[in-house]
Amino acid sequence: MRIANLSGRLVIVTGSLAVDVETASYGAFGSDPQAVFDRWHEFVGWAAVADLTSATPFDQAHLYAPMPCPRQLFAIGLNYREHSAELGLIDEAPIVFTKFASSITGPYADVEHPGGELDWEVELVVVISRRARRVSEASAWDYVAGLTVGQDVSERMTQYAGLLPQYSLGKSFAGFAPMGPWIVTPDELVDPTDLALECRVNGSVVQNGRTSEMIMSVASLIAWLSETVTLYPGDLIFTGTPAGVGFGMSPPQFLSVGDELLTRIEGIGELRNRIVAGPLPD
């Protein structure tokens, strides 16, 4: 199943068609794209037998971030070996930070260039389906509602301005977390642990990897995080990026106003974001 946020309303996407969940369920489930995760298993049960014949064509330009304001957003740094190597940080354990929720934007939204050194990071994003505390790696996928595509836009000057890195701030300017275009449930994917992921800038491939190359897999990340924190339904995990970021190139390359960023994951979909001069409206 694919679920999306179409003009602020929860929909199920089937091919090029969408079904409004509140309408199709006669109000049993609301229109809020986030609230559905609090009743995720009930929702999945309904969707499996629901009459979706009222599906209609929709304009993809009206898709917004499928999860616009999660309770918690975890982001993982240094989770692919080649990416760690390109930054000279090999053999360090992954690190955890956040992208503040105000940075979330839609799959086709323009991203304002805030100045500085603007970089790209394609990432698989995991959506949590139910409360998770000290879960085992073996059972971790039972806590995954679905997967989506994320772009961890990063401004490197802010990130590295001080003695210690400011990951969360440098990655949280407005529009720095494009996501979507929808959430795909794991059963839709042949192997949800091995998906090709790619980032292109103005059509040129800059990142090209597979999620099976993660140092800590989706399952081990959920087990590891939930040893310390409680994960809630609808929480997001940006799972790290493969090699090929602009900061790791020699000489370094960064995004400029007018650049087109394409962020794609096999079996899920793609984001298209244009870098624009500000200021964009709040």
Q: For residue 72, give the DSSP letter.
A: -
263 binds Zn ion (CB under 5 A): no
Q: Which two tokens stand for residue 1?
A: 């199943």
State the residue number with the nearest CB to Zn ion.
Answer: 152
> Measured between alpha carbons, how far is 152 from 120 in angstroms, rounded to an integer?
6
Query: Which residue from 86, 112, 117, 121 is in contact with Zn ion, where contact means CB under 5 A?
Result: 121
**Per rule CB under 5 A, is residue 152 in the interface with Zn ion?**
yes
In whole angstroms, give the CA distance from residue 169 to residue 99. Answer: 8
Site for Zn ion in 238-257 (CB under 5 A): 241
What is the C-alpha to C-alpha distance for residues 74 and 209, in angstroms, rounded to an integer?
A: 21
**Which of the ranges 32-40, 104-112, 149-157, 183-191 carries the binding residues for Zn ion, by CB under 5 A?**
149-157
Which whole-number Å values give the CA distances from 171 to 56, 119, 137, 204, in the listed order? 37, 10, 28, 23
Residue 152: CB minimum distance to Zn ion, A: 3
Q: How far is the CB of 14 from Zn ion (least distance, A)?
A: 31
Under rule CB under 5 A, residue 198 binds Zn ion: no
Residue 151 CB, nearest distance to Zn ion (Å)?
A: 9
**Nearest C-alpha neighbor of 171 from the set 246, 114, 227:** 114
User: Does residue number 112 form part of the binding site for Zn ion (CB under 5 A)?
Assistant: no
Residue type, 4: A
Cα separation of 278 and 260, whole Å?
Answer: 16
Kindly state whether residue 119 participates in binding Zn ion, applying the rule CB under 5 A: no
Taking CB under 5 A as the binding criterion, the range among 172-180, 212-220, 233-241, 274-282 that sits at the site for Zn ion is 233-241
Minimal distance in Å, beta carbon 31 to Zn ion?
Answer: 31
Tell me the site size for Zn ion, rule CB under 5 A: 3
Q: Which stretch binds Zn ion (CB under 5 A): 115-123, 138-146, 252-260, 273-281?
A: 115-123
- Residue 184: burial class (beta carbons within 10 Å; 0-12, 13-18, 19+): buried
Tokens of 46: 């309904």
Nearer to Zn ion by C-beta: 112 or 152? 152
Asked whether position 235 contacts Zn ion by CB under 5 A, the answer is no
- Which structure tokens are listed for 107? 């799959």
Using CB under 5 A as the criterion, which residues of the chain lie in contact with Zn ion when the complex forms?
121, 152, 241
